[in-house]
Structure 1
Amino acid sequence: MLTDIFAHRYLENPIWDNFDENARRLLVQGFRIVSEQLFPYYDASGNERSESKALWDGLNKKLAMELGLKDLSSPTYGYYTEWNGNKHWTSGSWPKITVCENFVVAKYDGSVSADQFIKERLSFIEIAFREQEEKLASLNASLDKRIQQEDLAAKVRPNRSLRLPGNHGDGLRAWNKTQNDMFRASCNELNERFRQCKVKLHYHNGFIQISEDEVIACEIEQPFWNLVSDPIWRNVDHDMKEAIDLRDSGGRDPALFAAKALESTIKIISDAKGWTKGNEKGATNYIDNLRAKANGEFINGWERESLVEFFSKVRNPFGHGAGSQPVPELSPPQTDWAIEFCMIWAKNLIRRL
C-alpha cells in the first residue's frame, strides 16, 4: 500500500542547503513529540505497553517501504565483551521505538544531500502524526456508539456493584475531548518548532506542507485546517492540500483545485441546509441557494457577486478547454491570492453554520 510522504512530495523542491544545528534540533524535538506525547512506548513503570510494539513496527514499516528499506535502521545489535580474558559475543534485538529513533536522530554523514536526509526523517514525523490523526478520527466517529454501549452496560449492572457518580456519557465526552485537545497541542508545538527552526513548513490534517507567510499561516491557514478536519469536509481538505502541493512543486493549475475546495464547501452547506433542489448546473446555482431570501440569505448580494466573479474569471477558464485561445496561467502572487481567497471564504462560510 502506497503511503504519501513529505520526502516524495517535495523531492524537486529544495528546502535545506546544509545540515545545521537548527535541523538537528528540529528532528530531535519532532521525534520527542512523537515518542513522549503521541505514542509513549513504555508505561510509568518502564514496561513496554502492550500496543506499542505493533504500533511502532507499523510506523517503521510504512516509511521503510517508501524509502526502499527493510527497516529504518538495524533491528539488531551485537558486540564483543571481554570477561576473564575471554571474548564473549552479546547480541539482541532493538525495541521498535529504538529502530525508529536511530533513524530519525542519526548523525548526518554526507552520504546523501542534507535536503534528502532531513526530508526523509521529517516524513517519519509526518506519518506518526497522521497515524494519530486517523486514530482520533475513528474515536470521534464512534463516540456516540460508545456512549450508547456504556449506558446499556450500566443499566444491566447489579445495583450492588460499585458505581462512580456522574453521567457515563459526559465522562466519555470529556475523555474524548481531552484526547483531541492533547493532539492539537502537539500539532501546535510541532508548528512552533518549525517556526523556531526558521523553516517555512506547517503540519495540518496529516500533511506537512510549505507555508510561506507566518501571519497567513496563523490567521488563515491554521483556522481553515482546523475547521475542515471534520469528515464532512474531507473533499474540501483533499482539494486544498492538492492545490498547495501543486503550487509548491510548480504543478499545473493549483488555483483550480483551490476553487474546487471552495465549490465543495458551498455545495456541502447547500445540501446540509436542505436548499439543494437537484437541478443545479454549476457553482453559480449553488451560490444562489445560499443567497435566496427563502433560505434566509445565508450570504448577501455583494458576497454573491464576489463569489460568482471568482468562479467566472478564475475557476472557469481553468476548468474548461482553452480551444484555440492561449492556455490561461496565473502568476505566483495571483496563485497565492486565489488559494488564500478560497481558504478565507470556505472558513467564513463554515463558521456561519
Structure 2
Amino acid sequence: MASISGIRGESVTTGQPFLREPLARMNYHMLTDVFITRYENTPVWASFDELTRRFMVQAGKLLTEQLFPFYVDGNENKAAKATLQKLHDTLAMELGIDPLSALYNGGYRYPISDILKNFLQRPYEQTESADVFIKRRISLVELGFREFERNVKAANAALPGQLAELRKETPLYELARSLKVSALSEEFSIKHNKVLNDALRENMEELNERFRQAKFPLAYHNGFIQLSSDTVISNEIDKPFWALVSGERWKNVERDMLEAVDRRDNKGRDPALYAAKALESAIKIISGEKGWTRGNENGAAAYIDNLISQKNGRFTEVWEGEALKAFFSKVRNPLGHGPGNEEMPELTTQQDDWAIETCMSWIKSLIRRL
C-alpha cells in the first residue's frame, strides 16, 4: 500500500495501520466513556454473520440520514457535518485509530458521512477478533445517539426560557405576531420541541428493534448501550425505568443505576450497592421535594419514615416502608460497610440481577406516585 505523509489510521481492507493526511479537528479532547471500553473484558460476539453485516448498514443510515442528515434538499447540512466530524474525532481518540476509514478514493475525498459509513460497513476479515471489530462500531452508534439525546435534553431545558421571551411584549415580537411569523411564536417553539423529542423516541425504538433483529443482546437508553438479554425484563422494567429517570432531576439516580448495570455486566464488585444508592437517592429526592426532610435524618430508614408518616399522608404504606428498610438492612448495609475480619459479603449473579431489578421497580413505583 502506498504511503502518504501523516498520522496513522486503520486500513479499510485489513485493519492494519496506514499513513494518511491529517484531518481538521478540535484542538482538545477529553476521555469519553464508550461501549468498547466498558465491555473490553466481557466477550459478547464470537463471530461476524450476515445479521451483523446488515445491522452495520442500518446503523450508518441511522446516524447519517436520520439523526444527523448530512444532506438536506441536496445541500450539505453544516450542523450535521460538524457533529459527524465530532463523533469521528471522539471515537478515533478513544480507539487510537485515526482516521476511522480512508479519506480518499483516488482523487475523490470522502465526505465525513461516508467516512463513518465506510467504517461501519468495512468487510470483516477472519484474522481480526469479531468481538473487538463489532464493539468498535457499536461504540460509534452509542456516541451518535448520546449526542442526539444530549441535544434534545438541552433543547428541553431551554424551552421554558424561550417561551418566556416570546411572551414579552417587545416591538419585534408584536411585529412577528401581526405578520404571523411562525418561527417567533410559542406554538412553533412547542411544536419544534415535540418534533425533536418524537425523533429521539422513534430512533431509540428503531435502534433497539434493530438490535433485536440482529440478535444483539443490547439495549440503548439514556446515552448508553448496555447488555440486555431478557426481553420481558427489558420491556417491563428497564425501558420504563430509564424513561422516568432521564431528566436532570434524577441525574444521580440515573448515574448510580448505570454504574450498577455496568458492574453487573462486567462482573465488577458490588453492583447491588450502586443500585441501592440509586434507590436511596430517589427516596431522598422525593422526601425533599415534598417538604418532609427535617435535616436530622441519619440514614435511609429515616427518609423512609418520612414517606410512611401518617402526618405526611402516607406516601407509601407502612408495609412498603418495612420492605424498603429490609432491603437496605439486609442488602445495602452489609455491602456498604467494611466487614473487618469477617468474610467479605458477595452476592451471586442471580442476586445481583434481583437487587437491580428490585431497585428499578421501587424507583419506578415511587416516581409514578408523585
Asked if TM exceeds 0.5, the reply is yes
Q: CA 1:188–1:153 in 2, change beyond 3 Å: closer, same or farther?
A: farther
State the match for 1:70 in structure 2.
98
CA contact (8 A) 2:166 2:186 kept: yes
List gaps (5 residues or longer) in structure 2: 1-29
Aligned to 2:269: 252
Q: Distance in 2 between matches of 1:129 and 1:116?
A: 20
Identity of aligned residues (%): 51
Q: Normalised by the size of structure 2, how large is the TM-score?
A: 0.89
Instruction: Give 1:222 deviation, angstroms.
Output: 0.2
Q: Distance in 1 between matches of 2:174 and 2:136?
A: 55
> Paired residue for 2:45?
16
2:75 is the counterpart of 1:58: no
Match of 1:352 in 2: 369
Q: Give the counterpart letter for 1:141 in structure 2.
A: A
* SS of the residue 2:86 aligns to: helix
- Following superposition, the deviation at residue 24 of structure 1 comes to 0.8
| 2:110 matches 1:94 | yes
Encode CA deviations 1:276-304: one digit per residue, 9 max, x unaligned: 11111110011111111111110001100
Query: Which deviates more from structure 2 when the two are superposed, residues 64-73 or residues 146-155?
Result: 146-155
Q: Distance in 1 between matches of 2:264 and 2:153?
A: 28
Secondary structure in 1 aligned to 2:219? Answer: strand
Compute the displacement of 1:150 (Å). Answer: 2.4
- Partner residue in 1 for 2:164: 148
TM-score where L is the length of structure 1: 0.93
CA shift in 2, pair 1:12/1:165, >3 Å: closer
Count, aligned residues: 340
1:302 is aligned, of 311, 319, 322, to 319
Equivalent residue letter for 1:219: E
Among 166, 182, 200, the residue aligned to 2:217: 200
Q: Measure how far apart 1:167 and its partner are.
A: 9.7
* Contact map agreement 2:47 2:131 (CA 8 A) in 1: yes
Shift in alpha-carbon separation, 1:173–1:326, aligned structure 2, 3 A: same
Alignment root-mean-square deviation, CA: 1.7
Q: 1:108 to 1:273 in 2, by over 3 A?
A: same
Partner of 2:283: 266
* C-alpha separation in 1, matches of 2:192 and 2:169: 18
- The alpha-carbon deviation at position 76 of structure 1 amounts to 2.5
In structure 2, give the amino acid aligned to 1:32: K
Which amino acid in the other structure matches residue 152 of structure 2?
L
Picking from 31, 47, 68, the partner of 2:60 is: 31
Of residues 149, 153, 177, the one that matches 1:137 is 153
Partner of 1:162: 179
Residue 114 (str. 1) matches residue 130 (str. 2): yes
Would the alpha carbon gap of residues 166 and 109 (structure 1) be closer, same or farther in structure 2, given more than 3 Å must change?
closer
Residue aligned with 1:259, SS = helix
Letter of the aligned partner of 1:196 in structure 2? Q
The C-alpha deviation readout for 1:192-229, integer Å capped at 9, x for no partner, is 11111222110000000011210000000000000000
Other structure's SS at 1:152 match: coil
SS of 1:295 mapped into structure 2: coil
SS of 1:324's partner is coil
Alpha-carbon distance change, 157 to 195 in structure 1, aligned in 2, over 3 angstroms: closer
In 1, distance between residues paired with 2:72 and 2:172?
33
Q: Which amino acid aligns with 1:238?
A: R
- TM-fit CA distance, 1:53: 2.0
Which secondary structure state, in structure 2, belongs to the residue aligned with residue 293 of structure 1? coil
What is the match of residue 42 of structure 1? 71
Which shifted more, 223-232 or 51-60?
Answer: 51-60
User: CA–CA distance in 2 between the matches of 1:166 and 1:247?
Assistant: 47
**3-state secondary structure, aligned to 1:281:** coil
Q: Report the Cα distance in structure 1 between the residues aligned to 2:166 and 2:239, rounded to whole angstroms.
A: 35
Corresponding residue number in structure 2 for 1:123: 139
Q: Distance in 1 between matches of 2:268 and 2:217?
A: 19
